Every structure is written in C-alpha cells, then in structure tokens.
C-alpha cells in the first residue's frame, strides 16, 4: 500500500473488523458499515484533491487497489441493508425464495460483465490505463449508492464497476450463508414419515446465550467456521425464541459476580447426577427416550 494511503486503509480495516464482517448483520450494523465506508472515501478524496498523482502508474494503483477497498464494502453493506430490509418476515420458504432471486440477480450482473470480470480475475494489466485513469472517464448509465463519488477528479471509467464486482462477491457469501441457515430449518428437509414436534426454549435467554458461546468457542459447529450471529439465528428458529442482542447478553454474563457460566455448570452437574443415578438403577437410563 502506497505510503500516503496506508494509514487510511489500515484504519478502515480495523474498524471493519469491529462491525463483524462475515456474520449476519443487523440494519444498525449495515448502516454503521455504510458510514464507515463513506468516511474512508471522503478522506481518500481529500488526499487526491490535495496531493494528486505523480504519474499514471500511481493513478492506476489508487483507483484499482486503494479506492476499491472502501467502495467495494460500500456496495456490500448497501446490498446487505437492502436484503435485510426487504426480507420476508414470516415463512422460511418465502425467505428462501427471496434469497434465491437475489442469487439470480447477482448471476445476471456477472454475466453482463463477464469480459471485465475475466480481465480482473486473470490479473491482466494491458487495459489498466483505459480502465483506471481519469483520462478515459465514461459516466455510468446505472444509478448506484456509490454514484455520489462521481466527482470528475475522483472516478474512472471502470473503478466503480470493479468495486461493484468485489462487493457483489462479498454479498454472494452473505446470501449463501443465509440460505444455508434457512435450509437447515426448513421443515421440508426433515425425513418424511418422521414424527416431528416443535421445540420451545423454556429456560432463560442468558442460559441459551451461554450454550451458543460455548459451542462457538469449542468450534464444534461446521469446524468453527460459523459466527455467533449465525449460530444464534439457527437456535432462534429451532427453539422459536428471540434472543435480541446476544453480544450484550454475553457482556452481562461476563460481568456476573462469582460463578459466571451458571447454566453450563448446571448442565454438567445434572448430567453427572443422572449418570450416577443410572448406575444405581440401570433401567432409568432409557427414561424419556
């Protein structure tokens, strides 16, 4: 990263980690991400206006590598915000149908721009001066959230398209993870003929939060690749409950005096008691099965 931009991009990525990129996002976090991207772009724009570029090579580097970072995440957070706003509130099948339409729309975008995507993914450079210098500006025909960065001094013919390609690649992962979560809970995925019964969490939300964090910390779900929010969402649907803010609840658990993992300790205690009791009365081991 060139020296005069390095601190901006480093600070941007540090704050990005705090938002929880990679997990399912609330509208509040999506808006926070949009605000973060806008701030980074504003600072970069100021640097460009003040210092300019010493040559076309530096100009290509900026629009291809530097600006594309916050701009691509602006695309991503804008898409996530739209997705969460418009997502059907009731019905797993409705939600899955909505997300699969999103996938089709993403595929159409990549099909329309396959030649440019191929150029960038192959890391070709022979058209860089045409794509990433302001000498060949072409005003985009489509309206996008990032269109506010169409200052003639701050865009090229393809820098926003490149940011959209990168942002949509992030968004693909987000949508696929959501589909995975909803499909796990889709009743049609249960084996036919099995007598299924709805389950309701009847202990406290703090107790369920302890269990979720324990499973996350021990990396026993999908080899530790799933985040807290994904696991929490799955448990919410499985047990027909609403956990609200699991991060806040976890903070409250950490602030407890004395024993903190009360529910988990109770699980261990009761399970050990059951095994001791079953050793004394072996037939009780099948009770409730």
Tens of pLDDT, residues 49-64: 888 888 999 999 999 9
Chain center to CA of 199: 28
Does this model's pTM top 0.75? My answer is no
CA-to-CA distance for 147 and 140, rounded, in angstroms? Answer: 8
Task: Pull the structure tokens for residue 265.
Answer: 């300790």
Longest dimension (CA), the chain: 85
Mean confidence (pLDDT) of the chain: 84
Count of structural domains, the chain: 2
Same domain for 11 and 118, yes or no, is: yes
Inter-helix orientation angle 246-254/228-238, to 10°: 100
The residue segments making up the domain with residue 25 are 3-189
- Of 158, 189, 220, the residue at which a domain comes to its end is 189
Tell whether 220 is covered by a domain: yes
C-alpha to C-alpha distance for 13 and 3, rounded to whole angstroms: 16
214 lies in some domain: yes
Residue 200 inside a domain? The answer is no
Can you tell me the mean pLDDT for 148-172? 82
With 0-12 / 13-18 / 19 or more C-beta atoms within 10 angstroms meaning exposed / middle / buried, residue 56 is middle
Assign 143 a pLDDT band (cuts: 50, 70, 90): very low
Domain boundary among the residues 189, 223, 241 is at: 189
pLDDT greater than 80 at residue 119: yes
| In a shared domain, residues 38 and 136 | yes
Cα–Cα distance list, 3 to 9, 47, 54, 163 (Å): 10, 12, 13, 22
Q: Are residues 97 and 228 in the same domain?
A: no
- Asked whether residue 114 falls in the same domain as residue 247, the answer is no
Confidence category of residue 286, pLDDT binned at 50, 70, 90: low
Q: What is the pLDDT of residues 203-218, one digit of tens each?
A: 999 999 999 999 999 9
């Amino acid at each position: 990263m060139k020296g005069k931009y390095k601190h901006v991009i480093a600070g941007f990525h540090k704050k990005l980690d705090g938002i929880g990129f990679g997990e399912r996002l609330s509208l509040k976090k999506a808006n926070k991400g949009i605000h973060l991207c806008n701030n980074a772009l504003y600072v970069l724009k100021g640097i460009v206006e003040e210092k300019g570029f010493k040559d076309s090579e530096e100009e290509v580097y900026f629009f291809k590598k530097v600006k594309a970072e916050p701009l691509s995440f602006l695309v991503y957070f804008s898409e996530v915000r739209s997705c969460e706003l418009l997502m059907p509130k009731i019905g797993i099948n409705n939600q899955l149908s909505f997300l699969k339409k999103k996938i089709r729309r993403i595929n159409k975008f990549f099909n329309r721009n396959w030649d440019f995507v191929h150029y960038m993914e192959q890391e070709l450079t022979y058209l860089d001066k045409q794509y990433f210098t302001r000498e060949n500006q072409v005003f985009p025909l489509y309206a996008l959230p990032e269109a506010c960065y169409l200052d003639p001094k701050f865009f090229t013919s393809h820098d926003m398209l490149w940011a959209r390609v990168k942002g949509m690649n992030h968004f693909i992962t987000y949508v696929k993870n959501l589909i995975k979560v909803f499909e796990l809970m889709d009743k049609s995925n249960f084996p036919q003929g099995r007598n299924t019964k709805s389950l309701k969490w009847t202990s406290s939300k703090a107790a369920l939060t302890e269990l979720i964090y324990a499973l996350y910390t021990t990396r026993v779900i999908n080899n530790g690749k799933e985040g807290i929010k994904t696991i929490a969402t799955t448990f919410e649907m499985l047990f027909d409950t609403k956990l609200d803010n699991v991060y806040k609840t976890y903070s409250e658990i950490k602030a407890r005096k004395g024993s903190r993992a009360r529910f988990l300790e109770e699980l261990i205690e009761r399970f050990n008691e059951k095994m001791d009791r079953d050793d004394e009365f072996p037939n009780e081991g099948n009770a409730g099965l």
